[in-house]
Amino acid sequence: MNHKTRLATAADLDEIVAIFEAGRAYLKAQGIIQWQCQNGPSREKAERDVREGYGYVLLLDDKVAGYTALVPGYPGPDVFPPLTEGAWDERHSHYIAIHSVGMAEFARGQGLAVLFLETMVERAKALGYKDIRIDTHPDNQIMQKVSTKASFIRKGTMVIPGSESGTRYVYQIVID
């Protein structure tokens, strides 16, 4: 299979939403509350990501197989709340966060999520970022493994205010 990554477009939105819904069902079937609440990924968030140039799709043979967003941020509680355990490496004045990573059902179990994250890390570097962050629910062991296989280092734990699924493990890659 041929794969490539590109910016998401409005024409991709139906496939992106299908990835969100399949991911939500997959997590629910495992008893994981991540993505089950109102502040999980949605069409509205994907539309904003596309409009802002943050959304990316992974294509397999020209079919949308994965989605994520690269969202710029600055240190402080406005984007990531303070960590309740651990600490960020804050050598750089700004960071980019990877959000809403999802894979289509046909693309699961092939190592593509790791490849997709590695590609997003390279994209973040190309955009000039040296601090790349990602988070996931403590019960989402698959995403934890994907993150560490993509060279992210666990930095601690945070709690997302107003979220049903609240606690998140946070990961970071820092480029010197």
Contacts (Cβ under 8 Å, ≥6 apart) of 152:
117, 132, 134, 171, 172, 173
Per-residue model confidence (pLDDT) at position 37: 77
Residue 72 has pLDDT above 80, yes or no: yes
d(CA 30, CA 32): 6
Kindly state the average pLDDT of the residues 4-22. 97
pTM: predicted TM-score of the whole model, two decimal places: 0.92
Proportion of the chain above pLDDT 90, given as a percent: 78
Contacts (Cβ under 8 Å, ≥6 apart) of 78:
none
What is the tens place of the pLDDT at every residue in 145-169? Answer: 999 999 999 999 998 876 666 889 9
Is residue 19 within a helix (H) or strand (E), and if so which, with residue range? helix 13-29
Kindly state the average pLDDT of the residues 55-63. 96
Residue 75 has pLDDT above 60, yes or no: no
User: Residue 176 — pLDDT band, cuts 50, 70, 90?
Assistant: confident
Residue 40 has pLDDT above 90, yes or no: no
What is the tens place of the pLDDT at every residue in 94-147? Answer: 899 999 999 999 999 999 999 999 999 999 999 999 999 999 999 999 999 999
Left (φ > 0), alpha (ψ -120 to 50) or beta: where does 166 sit?
left
Give the domains, in start order, of the chain with CATH numbers. 3-174 (3.40.630.30)
Matching residue, tokens 């997003």 = 120
